Amino acid sequence: MKKTVVAENERALLFRNGRFVKLLGPGRYILCGGSAAELCPLDKELCSGLAPLDRLLECPEIASAVTEISVEDAHLALHFVNGLFKDALTAGRHAFWNQGQKHEFTVVDTACPEVAPEIPRHIFPKLSPRLFQQIDIEDYQKGLLFFDKRFERELGPGSYFFWRGPVAVECGIFDTRRQQMNVSGQEIMTADKVALRINFVLSYKVTDFLRAATEIADQKEQLHVAAQLALRDYVGRYRLDEVLAGKDQMGEYVTGVLKSKEKELCVEILEAGVKDVILPGEIADIMNTVLVAEKQAQANVITRREEVASTRSLLNTAR
């Protein structure tokens, strides 16, 4: 024989030789032979390791003491106890003790993934992340929402909640702010076969996020390549001296080419220009030598001009 005590906040399931017999209320019991008692807390879901729930609910005493709910596939039941959110129930049959507790349920269909406005947002920190997905859009961002790879709608700034279920939810997030791109270190051959390295900078904004996401593969790379090709086209037409003298014209030309591709690339070109023109080492040395010679020649002319002026002054004084 063995003794079992059932507390006020418990109930016990009595089994004899492995078969459920009846429900035991609070009290002290002496069990003998093949009898066993399984304790069930009243603040927990009715669950037994010795018998299925369907078998337990066949007992009229248990059926009248619990609130039962069946949740279908692709559904969730939000469980509230005495008006406070408790947890979310997945597919299956569930039962909860009524003793001092009022159980209410809100059933949601996860095949419609967007969380309805009437669902209180304060429940989500208490839910498992495997049941829902949260998408946050900042003030400077825009989201493109897709259900099962199909575009649904644009999302503005805010927090959005979606149920994880049979429908795959994805969101592409794009920056609506002014963007900058550096086209750096491009080695380009001039018409007189001098290899220059040109650094170009441009700023732009995306104008059509949906087309950029669904019709253009790697928008930034395509814009980068368009700038490279425009630079090569311009520099290849002119000799070194003409390129160095026409840096502003180079920027205007490349900007014009990029602006002609704005609709195609879904961007607006705000500003563009040449940042640096880097000469090869030997050409740079030659240019420096020429510059030194020019400045020396200018200095000689100035020196001779001052000497002539001084001689004239002396002559005038002698007269």
Output the tens digit of pLDDT for each of the chain's 319 residues.
788 899 999 999 999 988 999 999 999 988 887 889 999 999 999 999 999 999 999 999 999 999 999 999 999 999 999 999 999 999 999 999 998 899 999 999 999 999 999 999 999 999 999 999 999 999 999 999 999 999 999 999 999 999 999 999 999 999 999 999 998 876 788 888 878 888 899 999 999 999 998 888 888 999 999 999 999 999 888 888 888 888 888 889 999 999 999 999 999 999 998 888 877 655 545 555 655 556 566 666 777 777 677 777 777 777 6
CA separation for the pair 279, 236 (Å, rounded): 15
> What pLDDT score was predicted for residue 131?
95
DSSP per-residue string spanning 95-154: EEE-TT--EEEEEEETTS-BPPTTS-GGGGGGS-TTTEEEEEE-TTEEEEEEETTEEEEE
Which among 54, 45, 43 has a CA at the least distance from the CA of 20?
54
Q: Which two tokens stand for residue 17?
A: 């030789």
Q: How many CA atoms lie within 13 A of 232 on its CB side?
A: 11
Distances in whole angstroms, Cα of residue 221 to Cα of each of 182, 225, 228, 297: 11, 6, 10, 49
> What pLDDT score was predicted for residue 74?
93
User: 284: how many CB neighbours lie within 10 A of its CB?
Assistant: 11
